[in-house]
Amino acid sequence: MDRLQRRDAPGALVADEDLPVVARLAIEIRSDGSRTVARGAMVDAASGTEAAIRVEAGSLVELAAKLPAVMAQAMAHTVAQAARDVGRRVAAIPLRLFRRPRAPSRTRG
**1 has a pLDDT exceeding 60:** no
Residue 53 is assigned to a structural domain of this protein: yes
The 10s digit of each residue's pLDDT in 10-35 is: 666 566 677 888 888 899 999 998 89
Residue 80 is assigned to a structural domain of this protein: yes
Look up the domain containing 60 and give its range. Answer: 23-93
Model pLDDT, residue 28: 95
Q: Full-prediction pTM beyond 0.85?
A: no
Residue 61 is assigned to a structural domain of this protein: yes
Model pLDDT, residue 39: 93
Q: What is the DSSP string of 17-58?
A: TTSPP-EEEEEEEEE-SS-EEEEEEEEETTT--EEEEEEEES
Overall domain count for the chain: 1
